[in-house]
Amino acid sequence: MKFFIAPIEFSNVSVLNSITKDISVIFKDNVSLISLPLNTAAAYSRDRGQYFSTQLIADAMKLTPAYDGKVLMLVEFDLFVPVFTYVFGEAQLNGKHSIVSLCRLHEEFYSGKTNDKLLHERSLKEILHELGHNMGLIHCRNWNCVMHSSQGVEEIDIKGNFYCPECSGILSNNGYKDTFVKLTPDNDSLSKIIDSDHIT
Protein backbone atom coordinates (compact mmCIF):
# COMPACT_ATOMS: atom_id res chain seq x y z
CA MET A 1 0.00 0.00 0.00
CA LYS A 2 1.36 3.39 -1.00
CA PHE A 3 0.59 6.67 0.72
CA PHE A 4 0.82 9.95 -1.16
CA ILE A 5 1.01 13.21 0.71
CA ALA A 6 -0.02 16.21 -1.36
CA PRO A 7 0.80 19.56 0.26
CA ILE A 8 -1.58 22.18 -1.11
CA GLU A 9 -0.50 25.83 -0.99
CA PHE A 10 1.79 24.75 1.84
CA SER A 11 4.55 27.08 3.08
CA ASN A 12 5.97 25.51 6.24
CA VAL A 13 8.64 23.24 4.74
CA SER A 14 10.23 22.19 8.02
CA VAL A 15 6.92 20.98 9.43
CA LEU A 16 6.15 19.18 6.18
CA ASN A 17 9.54 17.42 6.21
CA SER A 18 9.34 16.33 9.83
CA ILE A 19 5.79 15.00 9.43
CA THR A 20 6.62 13.15 6.22
CA LYS A 21 9.65 11.60 7.88
CA ASP A 22 7.61 10.20 10.76
CA ILE A 23 4.79 9.01 8.54
CA SER A 24 7.38 7.20 6.43
CA VAL A 25 8.67 5.35 9.49
CA ILE A 26 5.16 4.28 10.44
CA PHE A 27 4.16 3.19 6.94
CA LYS A 28 7.44 1.41 6.11
CA ASP A 29 8.85 3.98 3.71
CA ASN A 30 5.86 3.66 1.42
CA VAL A 31 5.19 7.37 1.63
CA SER A 32 5.75 9.84 -1.20
CA LEU A 33 5.27 13.57 -1.50
CA ILE A 34 3.34 14.52 -4.62
CA SER A 35 2.30 17.77 -6.21
CA LEU A 36 -1.33 18.27 -7.17
CA PRO A 37 -2.37 21.19 -9.38
CA LEU A 38 -5.52 21.76 -7.36
CA ASN A 39 -7.57 24.90 -7.92
CA THR A 40 -8.69 25.78 -4.41
CA ALA A 41 -10.59 28.92 -5.36
CA ALA A 42 -13.71 26.96 -6.28
CA ALA A 43 -13.88 25.56 -2.75
CA TYR A 44 -13.40 28.90 -1.03
CA SER A 45 -16.35 30.50 0.79
CA ARG A 46 -16.04 34.25 0.92
CA ASP A 47 -18.72 34.44 3.66
CA ARG A 48 -16.95 32.05 5.95
CA GLY A 49 -13.33 32.68 4.98
CA GLN A 50 -12.86 28.92 4.88
CA TYR A 51 -12.46 26.16 2.31
CA PHE A 52 -15.10 23.49 1.70
CA SER A 53 -13.22 20.24 2.38
CA THR A 54 -15.66 17.92 0.57
CA GLN A 55 -15.31 20.03 -2.56
CA LEU A 56 -11.50 19.87 -2.35
CA ILE A 57 -11.63 16.06 -2.07
CA ALA A 58 -14.03 15.88 -5.04
CA ASP A 59 -11.64 18.02 -7.11
CA ALA A 60 -8.61 15.99 -6.03
CA MET A 61 -10.29 12.77 -7.15
CA LYS A 62 -10.19 14.02 -10.73
CA LEU A 63 -6.44 14.61 -10.53
CA THR A 64 -5.29 11.39 -8.90
CA PRO A 65 -6.43 8.31 -10.84
CA ALA A 66 -2.80 7.48 -11.55
CA TYR A 67 -1.89 7.22 -7.89
CA ASP A 68 -2.49 3.71 -6.64
CA GLY A 69 -2.82 4.10 -2.87
CA LYS A 70 -4.12 6.61 -0.37
CA VAL A 71 -3.87 10.31 -1.18
CA LEU A 72 -3.79 12.75 1.74
CA MET A 73 -3.89 16.49 1.11
CA LEU A 74 -2.17 18.66 3.67
CA VAL A 75 -3.28 22.30 3.87
CA GLU A 76 -2.67 25.26 6.15
CA PHE A 77 -5.99 27.05 5.55
CA ASP A 78 -9.15 26.49 7.58
CA LEU A 79 -11.66 23.86 6.41
CA PHE A 80 -15.40 23.52 6.75
CA VAL A 81 -18.36 21.48 5.64
CA PRO A 82 -21.53 23.58 5.33
CA VAL A 83 -23.31 22.29 8.41
CA PHE A 84 -20.30 22.61 10.71
CA THR A 85 -18.38 25.64 11.89
CA TYR A 86 -15.08 23.96 11.02
CA VAL A 87 -13.42 20.58 10.56
CA PHE A 88 -9.85 19.51 11.30
CA GLY A 89 -9.99 17.24 8.29
CA GLU A 90 -12.14 14.94 6.25
CA ALA A 91 -11.71 11.47 4.81
CA GLN A 92 -13.54 9.03 2.59
CA LEU A 93 -14.42 6.07 4.79
CA ASN A 94 -12.86 3.02 3.12
CA GLY A 95 -11.79 5.33 0.33
CA LYS A 96 -8.72 6.81 -1.27
CA HIS A 97 -8.75 10.50 -0.38
CA SER A 98 -8.46 12.56 2.75
CA ILE A 99 -7.50 16.06 3.79
CA VAL A 100 -6.01 17.53 6.95
CA SER A 101 -5.76 21.20 7.85
CA LEU A 102 -3.02 22.44 10.15
CA CYS A 103 -4.82 25.76 10.66
CA ARG A 104 -6.47 24.86 13.99
CA LEU A 105 -3.62 22.59 15.06
CA HIS A 106 -1.33 25.58 15.60
CA GLU A 107 -1.16 26.59 19.25
CA GLU A 108 -1.08 30.22 18.10
CA PHE A 109 -4.68 29.77 17.01
CA TYR A 110 -5.71 29.38 20.66
CA SER A 111 -3.10 30.97 22.92
CA GLY A 112 -1.06 33.09 20.54
CA LYS A 113 2.07 31.14 21.48
CA THR A 114 4.04 29.09 18.98
CA ASN A 115 4.71 25.47 19.85
CA ASP A 116 6.24 23.49 16.99
CA LYS A 117 6.44 20.26 18.97
CA LEU A 118 2.72 20.39 19.74
CA LEU A 119 1.91 21.23 16.12
CA HIS A 120 3.93 18.22 14.99
CA GLU A 121 2.18 15.88 17.44
CA ARG A 122 -1.27 17.15 16.56
CA SER A 123 -0.59 16.96 12.82
CA LEU A 124 0.70 13.40 13.08
CA LYS A 125 -2.37 12.34 15.05
CA GLU A 126 -4.80 13.91 12.59
CA ILE A 127 -3.02 12.40 9.58
CA LEU A 128 -3.08 8.93 11.14
CA HIS A 129 -6.72 9.54 12.08
CA GLU A 130 -7.87 10.45 8.58
CA LEU A 131 -5.80 7.67 6.98
CA GLY A 132 -7.43 5.33 9.52
CA HIS A 133 -10.81 6.31 8.08
CA ASN A 134 -9.44 5.66 4.57
CA MET A 135 -8.49 2.17 5.76
CA GLY A 136 -12.00 1.54 7.11
CA LEU A 137 -11.77 2.55 10.77
CA ILE A 138 -14.56 4.46 12.48
CA HIS A 139 -14.14 6.37 15.73
CA CYS A 140 -12.91 4.41 18.70
CA ARG A 141 -13.95 4.82 22.34
CA ASN A 142 -10.45 4.17 23.59
CA TRP A 143 -8.85 7.46 24.58
CA ASN A 144 -5.44 5.90 23.96
CA CYS A 145 -6.35 5.38 20.33
CA VAL A 146 -5.65 7.89 17.59
CA MET A 147 -9.08 6.99 16.16
CA HIS A 148 -10.86 8.53 19.13
CA SER A 149 -13.01 11.33 17.83
CA SER A 150 -11.65 14.79 18.56
CA GLN A 151 -14.06 17.66 18.23
CA GLY A 152 -11.70 20.13 19.87
CA VAL A 153 -7.95 20.55 19.94
CA GLU A 154 -7.90 19.54 23.61
CA GLU A 155 -9.26 16.14 22.64
CA ILE A 156 -6.50 15.78 20.02
CA ASP A 157 -3.96 16.43 22.75
CA ILE A 158 -5.57 13.96 25.13
CA LYS A 159 -5.96 11.01 22.80
CA GLY A 160 -3.20 8.52 21.93
CA ASN A 161 -0.99 8.81 18.89
CA PHE A 162 -1.36 5.38 17.37
CA TYR A 163 -4.01 2.78 16.57
CA CYS A 164 -5.09 0.82 19.66
CA PRO A 165 -4.81 -3.01 19.57
CA GLU A 166 -8.48 -3.33 18.63
CA CYS A 167 -8.22 -0.88 15.73
CA SER A 168 -4.90 -2.45 14.66
CA GLY A 169 -6.73 -5.77 14.53
CA ILE A 170 -9.45 -4.28 12.36
CA LEU A 171 -6.83 -2.81 10.02
CA SER A 172 -5.24 -6.26 9.72
CA ASN A 173 -8.63 -7.79 8.95
CA ASN A 174 -9.21 -5.06 6.38
CA GLY A 175 -6.07 -6.15 4.51
CA TYR A 176 -3.62 -3.61 5.94
CA LYS A 177 -1.69 -6.05 8.13
CA ASP A 178 1.70 -5.33 6.60
CA THR A 179 1.03 -1.71 5.86
CA PHE A 180 2.34 -0.24 9.09
CA VAL A 181 5.22 -1.19 11.34
CA LYS A 182 4.75 -3.55 14.21
CA LEU A 183 5.07 -1.81 17.52
CA THR A 184 7.88 -3.42 19.49
CA PRO A 185 10.02 -2.01 22.30
CA ASP A 186 13.25 -2.49 20.32
CA ASN A 187 12.03 -0.30 17.48
CA ASP A 188 13.96 2.83 18.49
CA SER A 189 12.93 5.03 15.61
CA LEU A 190 9.28 4.28 16.22
CA SER A 191 9.42 4.73 19.99
CA LYS A 192 10.60 8.28 19.38
CA ILE A 193 7.40 8.94 17.46
CA ILE A 194 4.83 6.79 19.19
CA ASP A 195 3.76 7.00 22.79
CA SER A 196 5.54 4.27 24.75
CA ASP A 197 2.15 3.10 26.11
CA HIS A 198 1.44 1.63 22.70
CA ILE A 199 4.61 -0.36 22.39
CA THR A 200 4.03 -3.95 23.46
Partner 1 sequence: MKSKQSILIVDDEKIVRESLYHWFIEEGYNVDTAEDAEAALKIIEKGKYELMLVDMKMPGMSGLELLDKVKEIDKDTIFILITAFASVPTAIKALKNGAYDYITKPIDPDELAHIVEKAIHQKELRQENEQLKDNINEIIKPDNLIGESRQMLKIFDLINTVAQTDTTVMIRGESGTGKELVAKAIHINSKRKYFPIVTVNCGALAESLLESELFGHEKGAFTGAHYKRKGKFEMADGGTIFLDEIGTVSPKMQIELLRVIESKQFMRVGGNENIKSDFRVIAATNEPLENLLKEGKFREDLYYRLNVFTIFIPPLRERRDDIPILAYYFMNKFNAAMNRNIKNISNEAMDFLVNYSWPGNVRELENAIERALVVGRGDSIKIEDLPFHVTPNNRLDDEGDKSLESVEKRHIMNVLELNNWNISKSAEALQIDRVTLYNKINKYGFRKS
CA distance 148 to 124: 14
Q: Is 155 a catalytic residue?
A: no
Nearer to partner 1, 94 or 189 (CB): 94
Report the site for partner 1 in 13-72 (rule: CB under 8 A).
Answer: 54
183 contact partners, CB below 8 Å, separation of at least 6: 162, 190, 194, 198, 199, 200
Q: Quick check: 96 binds partner 1 (CB under 8 A)?
A: no
Q: Quick check: 99 binds partner 1 (CB under 8 A)?
A: no
CA distance 23 to 131: 11
Task: Show the binding pattern over residues 149-178: x = contacts partner 1 (CB under 8 A), - = does not.
Answer: x-xx-------------x------------
Binding part of the chain for partner 1, among 4-12, 24-32, 134-142, 174-182 by CB under 8 A, reads 134-142
Q: Are 141 and 127 in contact (CB under 8 A)?
A: no
Q: Quick check: 90 binds partner 1 (CB under 8 A)?
A: yes
Nearer to partner 1, 165 or 185 (CB): 165
Looking at 9, 107, 130, 166, which residue is catalytic? 130
Burial of 100 (0-12, 13-18, 19+ CB in 10 A): buried
CA distance 27 to 193: 12
Chain positions contacting partner 1, by CB under 8 A = 54, 80-87, 90-91, 93, 133, 138-141, 149, 151-152, 166
